[in-house]
Structure 1
Amino acid sequence: MADPAAPTEDGTPKAKNHFTKAMEEAKAGAQALAGEYKEKLSQTTGEWTGDAKSKSEEAREKANAFASDAKIKAGEYANEGKARTSKAIVGLSKMIDENVALIDDKVGPKYGDYVRTASKSMQDAATKLDEKSLDELGEDAKEFVRKSPGLAVGMAVAAGFLFGRMFKKSK
């Protein structure tokens, strides 16, 4: 067997020459592995990106469907609330009409006329409420706030106070 420290034709020891060749082969192998890794990573990343886009589109479609269903349901509830409100106003107006004779007797016909006028106004309001769509009512409310912002704020405060009193917990 030849001495590994013996010089080669170019004057370098054989061991150093073998080491250099082994290093070059290792570098080439590492570069090949890195290339394969980059290719696999690129494929995997592409798959993940495709999956993420697919999941994102599915989630967006589900959210849009949910929002659409919620909008329809909210419209149904709003129409139901509008009908109940109109019915309650008509009921209150009828109750007032039934008691207007008592007001005439107890306080006087002048006040009875005021009550009749108020009852008629309530019936007219209920009729208008029934006839208008939710969009028209929304526009009317916006117009009212534009014309009388102070009154609108005052009414909102009063309504908030009344609701607060109605739902106040007993201590």
Structure 2
Amino acid sequence: MAKTPAKAAPKKPAAPRAKASAAKAPIKSVNTAAAKEKFSKALDDAKAGAAALGSEARTRAEAYRDQAVAKSSDWVDEAKVYGEQAKKKAGELAVEGKTRASDALSGFGKLVSDNAVTIDDRFGEKYGDYARTASRKLQETAARIDAKEIDELGEDAREFVRKSPALAVGIAAVAGFFLARLFSGSNKA
């Protein structure tokens, strides 16, 4: 049989090192206190820097806001001036257009009236009378257009569209067709 080794005697525990650890403890607490103090100071500096940065940002934001308000009020004023100029110019152009339309209708009525005699000779007095009636209506319409203000003409047009929208759309389509034919160029060479 094999011999089993004898059990070794138990070792004595090491002597407590109370004196050595007591000597190191004050150094550790001094280092910790110094670190806490430095951290606390750095934190205070960071807070002060953030407060100063925030204050500066608010000051700049207020300055930029004041500039934006001033510029926007300037732009609004300029837009109002341009709007008034555009309104005045549109009114002048509308009056000029009204005058031209009235003159064109009057001239066309006079042309039809001048040709009424020729129509009498070629087609008969009945058709000549139709031409004279049409001429008179054209000249009366020209006189009414010339006598009315632009605002009155606009209101009359709105009222006409309200009363008979289908007829208004038809007239606009026919007028658009004629204008397109009038202004379209011929592709034939």
- The alignment's TM-score, normalised by the length of structure 2, stands at 0.82
Partners of 2:109 and 2:62 lie apart in 1 by: 69
Please tell me the residue identity of whatever aligns with 1:131. Answer: A
Query: Is 1:163 the equivalent of 2:163?
Result: no
Mapped to 2, the partners of 1:110 and 1:167 lie a distance apart of 35
* 2:93 corresponds to: 77
Range with bigger deviation, 120-129 or 15-24? 15-24
- Cα distance in 1 for residues equivalent to 2:158 and 2:112: 30
Bigger drift between 84-93 and 15-24 goes to 15-24
For residues 105 and 13 of structure 1, the distance between their equivalents in structure 2, rounded to whole angstroms, comes to 131
Q: Read off the aligned partner of 1:85 and give its amino acid letter.
A: A
State which of 82, 102, 122 in structure 2 corresponds to 1:86.
Answer: 102
Residue identity opposite 1:63 in structure 2? A
* 2:80 counterpart of 1:64: yes
Q: What is the aligned residue count?
A: 165
- 1:67 Cα deviation after fit: 1.1
Query: Which runs of no fewer than 5 residues in structure 1 stay unpaired?
Result: none
**TM-score with structure 1 setting the length:** 0.90
Secondary structure of 1:127's match?
helix
1:19-71 deviations in whole A, cap 9, x for unaligned?
A: 22111111111111111111111111111111111111111111111111111
User: Does structure 2 conserve the Cα–Cα contact (< 8 Å) formed by 1:6 and 1:14?
Assistant: no
Counterparts in 2 of 1:23-102, with a 5 A limit? 23-102=39-118
> How does 1:111-122 map onto structure 2 within 5 Å?
111-122=127-138
Tell me how far apart the structure 1 counterparts of residues 183 and 124 of structure 2 sit (CA, whole Å): 37
- Identify which of 108, 119, 123 aligns with 2:139: 123
Comparing 128-137 and 96-105, the one that deviates more = 96-105
Find the structure with the greater CA-based Rg.
2
Mapped to 2, the partners of 1:169 and 1:109 lie a distance apart of: 39
Point out where structure 2 has 5 or more consecutive residues left out of the alignment. 1-22
**Could you give the per-residue CA deviations for residues 85-136 of structure 1, whole angstroms, max 9, x where no partner exists?**
1111111111112211111111111111100000000110010001101111
- 2:47, 2:93 → 1: CA distance? 67
Moved >3 Å (runs of 4+): 5-8
Question: What is the identity percentage for the equivalent residue pairs of Structure 1 and Structure 2?
Answer: 41
- Alpha-carbon shift at residue 152 of structure 1 (Å): 0.7
